[in-house]
Amino acid sequence: MTETTIDNETEDFAQQIADQVASFLVALREIARENDGGRAISLLLLEISQVLLAGARLGAQRDFTPIGDYQPDVGPEADLDAMRLRLAEMLGPVDPYAYVFDPYVPELVVGRLSDDLTSIATDLENGLRHYRLGNVEEALWWWQFSYVSSWGNLAGVALNALLSVVAHDRLDTEVADEDELLEVVDEMLDGDAAPPR
C-alpha cells in the first residue's frame, strides 16, 4: 500500500463518515434480528435518512481519488445473505416495490427492500473495511463513488418506499362519522348553512 499524507480535516471527515456507516450497519443487522415488522419500518426510515446524510456530505466534497488503479485487497465481503433473508421475511408484503431508478430515463423497476438494503450495506461495508485498514483515501473514494453510482439512489428509493408504507398506515384510515361530516359539508356548499363570519 502506498503511504499518503492526509490532512486533519479530511481525516476528521473520514472518521465521521466511518462512524455513520458503522452505526447504519449495526442498526440494520439489529433491526433484522429483532424481527418486528411494524417497528422495523420506522427504524429503517430513520437509519436510511441518516446514512443518506452521510452520502450527501460525500457528494458535496471534492472528488476523492484512489491511490492505485486497483483496490487494495481488504479480504472477503461480509456474508449478509442471512440478514437479507430475515429482512425479506419480516417485511413480507411490503418487501417488493416499484420505482423509477433514473428520473431522466423513466423506466419502472421492481425491487425488494431486503435486496436493496443489503446492497447498500455491502457497498458501505466495503468502504469501512478500507477505512479500518488505514486506506482512508480509498475508503472515501469508494464511499463517494458507490454513493453516486449505486447506494445513494437505492437508499433514496428505499426511503420513498418506506415513507409510502408509513403514509398509507397513517392516512388510509376511515374517519369516524364520515357520512355525517359529508352531509354537513354538502349543506354548506349548497348554501343551506350560513357561512361563518
- The verdict on residue 2 lying in a domain is no
Give the predicted TM-score (pTM) of the model: 0.79
pLDDT of residue 179: 62
Number of domains in the chain: 1
- The verdict on residue 82 lying in a domain is yes
Express each pLDDT in 15-74 by its tens digit: 999 999 999 999 999 999 998 888 899 999 999 999 999 999 999 988 888 776 666 667
Tell me the CB-side half-sphere exposure of residue 107, using CA atoms within 13 A.
3
- The verdict on residue 117 lying in a domain is yes
- Pick the closest to residue 116 from 166, 153, 79, 90 (CA basis): 153
Q: Give the CATH number for residue 169.
A: 1.20.120.1550
- The verdict on residue 195 lying in a domain is no
- The verdict on residue 36 lying in a domain is yes
Higher pLDDT, 184 or 126: 126
- The verdict on residue 57 lying in a domain is yes
Structural domain harbouring 176: 8-190
- The verdict on residue 196 lying in a domain is no
- The verdict on residue 183 lying in a domain is yes
